[in-house]
Structure formats: C-alpha cells, structure tokens
Amino acid sequence: MPPKTIAEMLKSNKSSSILLNEKGGMKGTAIIALINNLSPQDKEIINNLGYLVIDLDDDLIKKIAELHDENIQLKALALIDNLTGLFNNRFFLKNLETEMARTKRTGHSCSLMIIDLDNFKLLNDTLGHVEGDKFLCEVGKVLRENVRATDMVCRYGGDEFAVIMPATELYPAIRIANRLNDAITKITTPEGVTISSSIGIAEYKVSSLSKIDEVIHAADSAMYDAKKNGKNKVFVSSEPVGVKVRPEAVTIEEKEALVKGLKKNKQGDNSVV
C-alpha cells in the first residue's frame, strides 16, 4: 500500500491537534515545522493549520525576524481606532490604570478628560454617516495637534474622546481642556450645523482611593454636567479628593475662572467656563 500524502493523513487523522489539547489548562505549544519537497497542495493545507511552516530553502533567521516585526505591528494595530487613528478604548483602559499606578508611586497627580461632541447627531442625521465620520477624523487630528507630547488622545466611543494627562494637576488640565474646546469650535462645519464640545475633567491624586471605573465615572459625570448646563463648556468633577496646584502654573484668568466655578458649585453649578 503506497504511503499517504500529508493531505490524506490530515483528513483522516487529527491526532496532531488532539495532542496539543489533551491536557486542559496548559499553555499553548508553538510548533515550527521544517518540511522539504512538499507538493503545492500539501503546503497550502499545512499553512492553513495556523502552524509556522518554513521551507528548508528559507532563511530561518530572516523569517523569524519578519514574523517578530509583523507581530509588533499587529499588536500596535490592536490598540488603534480604525477610523480616527487615535488610540482605542483598549489602550485607554490599560494606560489610564498605568498612570494611576504611576501617581501612587511618584506622588504626581494625573488627570483625565472626557470629551463629547455637542449636536453631532444632528450632523449625522442631516448629512449622513460618511460626513459624520469625516468630521470625527478631523476632530481626532485637532485633538492631537493641541495636546502635549505626553498626553494620550483616545477615541472613547462614538463621538466621545478621552485624553489621559500624565503628571498633570487640575489647573493645567483645565488650560488644556479650554484649548481643545476652542479648537473644536473652529473646525469648519456645514451651514446650519454647529458642533462644539462638552468636556469633563477628573484629577487623580496620590491621596485618592478611587478605582479606575470611579475615575472614569467622575470625568464622565462632569462632562454630562457641562452638557446639561448649556454645552460648549468645561466642567470639573467634584468627586476627587482635594485640589492642589502650584500657583505659578496658573494664570490670573484661570484663577478667576476656578473661583467663579467654585462659587457656582455651591449653588449647584460646577462649570469652570
């Protein structure tokens, strides 16, 4: 009886897959198969298994280096939003937690900004999702251009964006938020549609016991307060513990804005615009 081809053996016997999975809970095993003189049909079947197949004529070191570079690129793409090119929600959650841990280690506050576009639904309803997507891409570009090199701009979801600001206390965060708010209003929009932004800020301090979901909720709540109080505003969350800012880092206008905001907060309004 003539020997079976690899194609025939794979069709009749799945022992190669069974051996890899017979003990549940164990880590997966990587297999590099060095096979020579395969027919085109057999090589295609082997490649479709998901194993790494290297021909004996291949440069092994070069092949591994190429796979390493490809793996890095795939990991990077997994953290990028397909539409805007900003970091995605997965990156956002991972790196916010990292910055909170850094705050605990260094004692330097970090701040989080949640941005929601005002009247974006009207743009979508009026001109369609294609034009809406174009506008989101433009917002992403404007945000990147108006933050610092250390700030991380993420697409939080839909028409919401998030900015993680490492080693940033409340007053500098307010300054950045106002700059972004102004920049968004200057983006050219179709006649009859006015797009602005409602922005909420939460400061995470070394003394805070808040967990990541509570920090996000604090910034999110401040953003919704801004929206409920007329939109096109920057609001500061009252939930984080205390306010500690170096006086030299704050302009006179920002001091006046914060005092005004704190006065309003006592009356049920915590706007800083």
Per-residue pLDDT of the chain (273 residues; tens, 9 = 90+): 555 555 555 556 544 444 444 445 555 445 555 555 666 766 666 566 555 555 555 666 666 666 656 665 555 557 889 899 999 999 999 999 999 999 999 999 999 999 999 999 999 888 888 999 999 999 999 999 999 999 999 999 899 999 999 999 999 999 999 999 999 999 988 777 889 999 999 999 999 888 999 999 999 999 999 999 999 999 998 754 333 333 445 556 666 666 665 555 555 555 555
Q: For the chain, give the number of residues.
A: 273
| Rounded Cα gap, residues 26 and 123, in angstroms | 51
**Antiparallel, parallel or unpaired: β 234-236 and 152-157:** unpaired
Which one from 81, 118, 151, 159 is the annotated catalytic residue? 159
Detail the DSSP E strand segments found in 64-174.
110-118, 152-157, 160-165
Whether the CB-CB separation of 227 and 198 falls below 8 Å is answered with yes
Cβ atoms of 174 and 272 within 8 Å: the answer is yes
**What dihedral do alpha carbons 254, 259, 264, 269 form, nearest 10°?**
40
Tell me the CATH architecture of domain 89-266: 2-Layer Sandwich (3.30)
Tell me the pTM.
0.64
The identity of residue 57, as a single letter, is D
Q: With contact defined as beta carbons under 8 Å apart, do 195 and 132 qualify?
A: no
Q: Is 159 a known active-site residue?
A: yes
Cα separation, 91 vs 82, in Å, equals 13
> What residue spans in the chain does CATH classification 3.30.70.270 cover?
89-266
